[in-house]
């Protein structure tokens, strides 16, 4: 008797979820024409003003999106999030953004359960491999960089990173930087260590090292050397914090926090973020 009741409750949950999914799909179809009109207007509005040269994104909410959609496997969310990252590169190219930085995996994420870490790194390996092989193309040519602690990543992902380096080019392509195994504190610590080693090698006396350190010296040892600082940083999933993302580079960045989970982030959300950026006065501390 208890088993039958349990089966009935489970069947009820499945039916309710199916009905909700059907309702969302029908609503999506009904609103599609209005969405298309609004998207065209928003694109035109954004095109009339300055566009950030460099947009960085904290892609957050893959697991919660998957759970909300009724999927017990968080890998469903991570795979959808990887495809969304490629979509964002296309939106950025269409909008006139020249550089994109995507935080795909933090150093702290590597402490998650082993099976989930394997899924995340596997998704990243597949995505980089698809770009390097041409199986997945973006609308604009890209110059791909990967930053972070490579030594903390599995060998298969390190190999995919090496393969993606073949996408490096110097013909005006969009620069796409992917942060994997990245920690802002770790980046700064490594930059300080490298700067001190440089001074020691140059023969700087130990009691003069502190005074000899400069901001330019430290910046020359950051993972992002050669890139511009981000003009706009977007974080999804409703979290209002940076979590250690680009602490040195973001001092004068503008921020935009979206309630949408990353896989549900749409082009209109992206364009709204740019429009908000366009409405702000950037003074860089002056």
pLDDT of amino acid 188:
97
- Mind listing the pLDDT tens digit for each residue in 151-175? 999 999 999 888 887 766 666 678 9
Which tokens is 46 given?
């954004």
**What is the average pLDDT across 242-253?**
96
Contact yes or no for 232/52 (Cβ under 8 A) = yes
**Angle at the Cα of 106 (from 140 to 241), degrees rounded to 5?**
90
More confident residue, 137 or 261: 261
DSSP code at position 1:
-
What pTM was computed for the model? 0.86
More confident residue, 261 or 165: 261
pLDDT of amino acid 178:
95
Run of H or E residues at 181 = strand 174-182
Phi, then psi, of 105 in degrees rounded to 5: -155, 120
pLDDT of amino acid 85:
95
- The verdict on whether 62 is a catalytic residue reads no
Q: Band of the pLDDT at 24, cuts 50, 70, 90?
A: very low
Q: Which long-range contacts (C-beta less than 8 Å, at least 24 apart) are formed by 70-78?
A: 70/17, 70/21, 74/116, 74/119, 75/116, 75/119, 75/123, 77/261, 77/263, 78/119, 78/120, 78/123
Task: Express the helix, strand and coil content of the chain in percent, nearest 5 each.
Answer: 55, 15, 30
Phi, then psi, of 58 in degrees rounded to 5: -95, 105
pLDDT of amino acid 281:
86
Phi, then psi, of 235 in degrees rounded to 5: -125, 135
The sign of the torsion formed by the CA atoms of 270, 82, 233, 54 equals negative
- The verdict on whether 109 is a catalytic residue reads yes
The percent of residues in the chain predicted with pLDDT above 90, rounded, is: 69
pLDDT of amino acid 164:
81
- The candidate with the shortest Cα–Cα distance to 127, out of 192, 180, 183, 79, is 79
Of 73, 90, 109, 126, the active-site residue reads 109
pLDDT of amino acid 90:
95
**What is the average pLDDT across 106-133?**
90
**Angle at the Cα of 223 (from 222 to 227), degrees rounded to 5?**
90
pLDDT of amino acid 197:
97
- Mind listing the pLDDT tens digit for each residue in 216-244? 999 999 999 999 999 999 999 999 999 99
CA dist., res. 94 & res. 88, Å (int) = 10
Distances (CA, A) of 67 to 51, 245, 263: 35, 25, 12
State yes or no: pLDDT of 43 exceeds 80.
yes
Q: Which long-range contacts (C-beta less than 8 Å, at least 24 apart) are formed by 276-279?
A: 277/52, 277/231, 277/232, 278/46, 278/49, 278/50, 278/51
Q: Band of the pLDDT at 257, cuts 50, 70, 90?
A: very high
Of 60, 62, 186, 231, the active-site residue reads 60
State yes or no: pLDDT of 27 exceeds 70.
no
Contact yes or no for 143/166 (Cβ under 8 A) = no
- Mind listing the pLDDT tens digit for each residue in 82-104? 999 999 999 999 999 999 999 99
State yes or no: pLDDT of 132 exceeds 90.
no
Q: Band of the pLDDT at 140, cuts 50, 70, 90?
A: confident
């Amino acid at each position: 008797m208890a088993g039958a009741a349990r089966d009935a409750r489970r069947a009820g949950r499945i039916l309710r979820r199916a009905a909700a999914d059907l309702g969302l799909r029908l609503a999506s179809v009904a609103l599609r024409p209005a969405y298309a009109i609004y998207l065209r207007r928003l694109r035109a509005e954004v095109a009339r003003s300055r566009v950030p040269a460099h947009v960085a994104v904290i892609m957050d909410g893959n697991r919660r999106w998957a759970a909300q959609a009724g999927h017990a496997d968080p890998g469903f969310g991570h795979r959808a999030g990887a495809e969304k990252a490629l979509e964002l590169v296309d939106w950025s190219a269409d909008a006139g953004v020249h550089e994109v930085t995507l935080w795909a995996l933090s150093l702290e994420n590597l402490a998650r359960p082993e099976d989930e870490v394997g899924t995340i790194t596997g998704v990243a390996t597949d995505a980089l491999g698809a770009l390097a092989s041409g199986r997945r193309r973006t609308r604009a040519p890209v110059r791909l960089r990967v930053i972070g602690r490579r030594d903390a990543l599995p060998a298969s992902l390190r190999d995919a990173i090496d393969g993606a380096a073949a996408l490096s080019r110097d013909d005006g392509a969009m620069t796409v930087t992917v942060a994997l195994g990245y920690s802002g504190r770790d980046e700064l610590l490594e930059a300080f260590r490298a700067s001190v080693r440089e001074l020691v090698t140059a023969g700087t006396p130990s009691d003069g090292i502190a005074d000899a350190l400069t901001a330019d010296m430290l910046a020359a040892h950051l993972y992002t050397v050669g890139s511009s600082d981000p003009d706009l940083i977007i974080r999804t999933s409703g979290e209002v914090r940076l979590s250690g993302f680009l602490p040195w580079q973001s001092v004068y960045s503008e921020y935009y926090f979206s309630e949408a989970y990353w896989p549900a982030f749409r082009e209109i959300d992206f364009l709204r973020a740019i429009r908000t950026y366009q409405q702000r006065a950037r003074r860089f501390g002056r």
